[in-house]
Chains A and B, each alone.
Chain A
Amino acid sequence: MAKVRGRGIAAVNYPTGMNLGGDPSQALIFCQPTGNFSVKLASTDLGQGLKTAIAQIAAETLGASLDTIIVDTGDTDSAPHCMGTFASRGTHRIGNAVIMAAREARQALLDIAAEELEAVPEDLVAANGEIYVKGSPHRKISIPEVAGAAHFKYGRTISGRGIFLKPLSKVDPETGACDPDSTEAHATTVADVEVDTETGEVTVLRLASAYEVGQQVNPEMVNGQIIGGAVMGMAHALMESVFPYYPSLDHHPGSFSEYLIPTALDVPEIESVVLEYPSSNGPYGVKGVGEMTANSPIPAIVNAIYDAVGVWITDLPVTPEKVLRALEEKEAYGSAGSRRNQ
């Protein structure tokens, strides 16, 4: 009877976008005469921080300062269609739609600024809420001034329309050929676990991962997905089941005391490094990250259990009972894994 440690690794991919495409999103941007930009979306923020990421993308593309961006979502009367937030599509599709809208609005800004500065739009740069002439930064005008002039002096709009659609592709029924995704993110997780051979309990000591996400819009928010995903993945591997005696319906949980999710006491050490290899088609190279982070820990933990005690538990969740039964079988039959699990 002992506590035995083991290490396991897992390398995974995760596709960006609704499978097979056909999931468009639109964005509208208008500029108020005082120089604030309203980004109209019918998208949803589930907590991952989409509204913030979109504000950053809009500000970057417009050359506006971040605090002048108002992301307004979601109301179907005042915002165009968005397919929704799922399939790690949000920042990618909505970000692309916002870039398209922001480019149009930016061009309108530059056209007015050119008139005000007596320059040509091609010679102008927009950054941090100001527009200036390349090489002569003292020849500048603020975006609020441009916005006011556009509306009250020139009678011109500063607004933009954007859409991103990856057209729906079909699955060939014979070969399975299809075009499922816009791009792929990747990850490798190394799990260190400790298995108590007396109780069957598995403790995850550390999850160390490398995530490749194209381009981080907001590194702390990406980190939020990494940590949150790690804990959810760990829970999937070790704790959770709607049907503990699946496929039987018995003992169907109805509360937090029957369906276990981790508490603050269950969190392992979580370390990560983020790589950025910009995607060919994401906004500033973004790839979706929100789902992948909950996937890679699961097989890494199962592999670590094998490394520790020589049993394959291939039926999730890995409960203490399953570990003990597998250890007993291993002892009885001397094989490297439960015969039931192979």
Chain B
Amino acid sequence: MKQLGIVGQSVRRTDGIGHVTGTTRYVDDVFYPNMLWLKMVRSPVARGIIHSVDTSQAEAFPGVAAVITARDVPNNWYTILGLIGIGPNDEPVLADSEVMYEGEPICAIVAESEEIACEAASLVRVEIEEQEPVLDLEYALSPQAPAIKKWGNNTYMYDGMDHRQVRFGNIEAAFAQADHIIEGSYQMSPIEHVPMETHVCVVNPEGDGRLTVHTNTQALYFSLDNTAIILKMPTHRLHFIGGTVGGGFGGKVDVITEPITCIAAMKTGRAVKWRWTREEEFRRSSTRAGAKIEFRDAVMNDGRIIGRKVRSLQDAGAYHRHSPYGLQKHMANVAGPYNIPNVWIDAYCVYTNRQPASAMRGFGVTEASFAVEVQMEKIARTIGIDSWEIRMVNAYRNGQMRAIRKVVEDATLVETIKAAADLVGYELPAHLRAMHSNDYTREDNDQSHGEGAPRHDR
């Protein structure tokens, strides 16, 4: 292997001096002369029908430059997954006829100061006929629940199906053959990214008709493209500037500030800043999805898992955001980094009336790894196999076939297990120490490529 000179060295960060002197520039440090501040008026209820929105008192409040409602949004749909073929559009930029989560944006106040904007926002009168929210995953899937999505059910539709699935091998044969059937149910509630820097966006309308958009998005061009679609504006009129983010963790990929701030800048002809409060970050910004994952495993006495059946529900909250994508990532990983010849997975992206879930550090894999590894421990404890052994026996090797029908390469799970044992001073028995990720050799009668009966032996 080539000898590396600079790659592999712990050189000091190029932005390190900027950080420790407080001179690194963030979006909240961007100021324009005569800049206006934006505050969002949001739904007080989790589900309801909007009957009226009266902004007259807010508009008349001294220091208010503009009020932005759904009528001001040229293409009032969040299109963020449209660019990668996920649809249909389900989330308005500003709520128009209904609200689907507590905190959903309804209208924006643009004013001379943050304080004036807040004061005026409190004068907006919204009449909403409250409806019973759908909050529980199982209830949302049941026929008793009202369909809160316009296509008539509460799941994302993938190729005409209400779930994504993996079918690999013959799960029923595995159950029939198993020495043990081990079940487990794993759940997590939504959590928040909590970056130290909240969402901030500053837009300046330029003299040449372009908009300069300063944003702490994690994805500049993605945000630009979506903003252009929402504004019905050619992309060459948008200039996005960013690149320094005070913590992202997946929470700044929803294009949630730029379109509205652009509209405000165009409507007023002045620079506009929208800085989210910490309360908005906790209560209104996207979260990690809540999840419920159920396992039913077919296990042999020697610890080999020969079949895994998974039913997984992801709580996307009120709207798509990135959840339909994340659910697929989850599906690809929820059988775990293990060689299991028979796998059956049903994974559902479920909608409820809560603040939308979206990407967060580990997206889809966090809950998969949690469920897989606690289930693994449960198996070990139930059948009386050592915790280290059960993982090493089942760990996938290079050359084996994953349930999603991709050949394993770059596998190093076994190596990390051995290294961790060394680190904590745990002496693995010789037969485990001898294992490595390249110790799998394909036999002629090997049926690990998925079809046919489960393998009995190694």
Contacts and interface: CB of A to CB of B under 8 A. Distances in A.
Q: Please determine if A and B sit in direct contact within the complex, based on CB atoms under 8 angstroms apart.
A: yes
Interface in A268-322: 271-273, 275, 277-280, 284, 287, 290-292, 294-296, 298-300, 302-303, 306, 312, 314-317
A49 B13 contact: yes
Contact of B419 (A74, A252, A273): A273
A60 B4 CA distance: 7
Interface of A: 8-15, 19-20, 22, 41-47, 49, 51-52, 55-57, 59-60, 66, 71, 73-77, 81-87, 127-128, 168, 171, 173-181, 183-190, 208-212, 214-221, 229, 232, 236, 240-244, 246-249, 252-256, 258-259, 261, 271-273, 275, 277-280, 284, 287, 290-292, 294-296, 298-300, 302-303, 306, 312, 314-317, 336, 341-342
B393 to A, nearest CB: 12
Contacts of A298: 366, 369-370
Given A52-B14, A60-B5, A83-B221, A243 B189 contact: yes
Contacts of B189: 241-244, 246, 315-317
B8 to A, nearest CB: 6
Interface string B321-351: 0000110110111001100000001000000
B92 interface: no
Contact of B423 (A180, A183, A208, A336): A208
B405 interface: yes
B11 A66 contact: yes
A277 B415 contact: yes
A336 B241 CA distance: 56
A58 to B, nearest CB: 9
Main secondary structure, interface of A, reads: loop
A277 to B, nearest CB: 5
B198 to A, nearest CB: 13
A83 B359 CA distance: 14
Contact of A254 (B136, B164, B282): B282
A271 B423 contact: yes
B165 A12 contact: no
Interface of B: 1, 4-11, 13-15, 46, 84, 102, 133, 135-137, 158-161, 164-168, 183-192, 194, 217-222, 224, 238-250, 252-253, 278-279, 282-283, 287, 290, 315, 325-326, 328-329, 331-333, 336-337, 345, 352, 354-355, 359, 361-366, 369-374, 376-378, 381, 387-388, 391, 395, 403-406, 409-413, 415-420, 422-424, 426
A19 B1 contact: no
A86 B373 contact: no
A312 B375 CA distance: 10
Contacts, number: 384
Contacts of A300: 373
B420 to A, nearest CB: 4
Given A253-B282, A284-B4, A190 B219 contact: no
A310 to B, nearest CB: 9
B241 A180 contact: no
A316 B331 contact: no
Contacts of A218: 8-11
B290 A22 contact: no
Nearest to A14: B365
A312 B332 contact: no
Contacts of A221: 10, 13
A182 to B, nearest CB: 9
B273 to A, nearest CB: 19
A280 B409 contact: yes
26 contacts: A11-B373, A12-B337, A12-B373, A15-B365, A19-B326, A43-B243, A44-B242, A45-B244, A55-B14, A56-B11, A82-B221, A173-B164, A175-B166, A178-B404, A180-B332, A188-B419, A214-B410, A242-B287, A247-B136, A247-B290, A273-B423, A275-B419, A284-B7, A302-B377, A303-B373, A315-B186
B362 A291 contact: yes
B423 to A, nearest CB: 5
A287 B422 CA distance: 23
B191 A190 contact: no
A13 B333 contact: yes
B411 A184 contact: yes
Contact of B10 (A46, A219, A258, A336): A219
B5 to A, nearest CB: 6
A310 B189 CA distance: 23
A60 to B, nearest CB: 5
Given A81-B221, A174-B165, A52 B191 contact: no
B328 A171 contact: yes
Contact of B378 (A41, A211, A312): A312
A74 B241 CA distance: 6
A15 B283 contact: no
Contacts of A232: 249, 361
Given A15-B365, A52-B14, A180-B404, A76 B183 contact: no
Contacts of B354: 243, 247, 249
A32 to B, nearest CB: 17
Given A177-B404, A303-B377, A9 B164 contact: no
A299 B370 contact: yes
A210 B419 contact: yes
Nearest to A9: B387
A73 B328 CA distance: 31
4 closest A-B pairs (Cβ-Cβ)? A84-B219, A176-B166, A74-B243, A299-B373
Contacts of A216: 8
Contacts of A15: 329, 332-333, 365
A315 to B, nearest CB: 4
A176 B164 contact: yes
A282 to B, nearest CB: 9
A188 to B, nearest CB: 4
A253 B239 CA distance: 36
Contacts of A190: 420, 423-424, 426
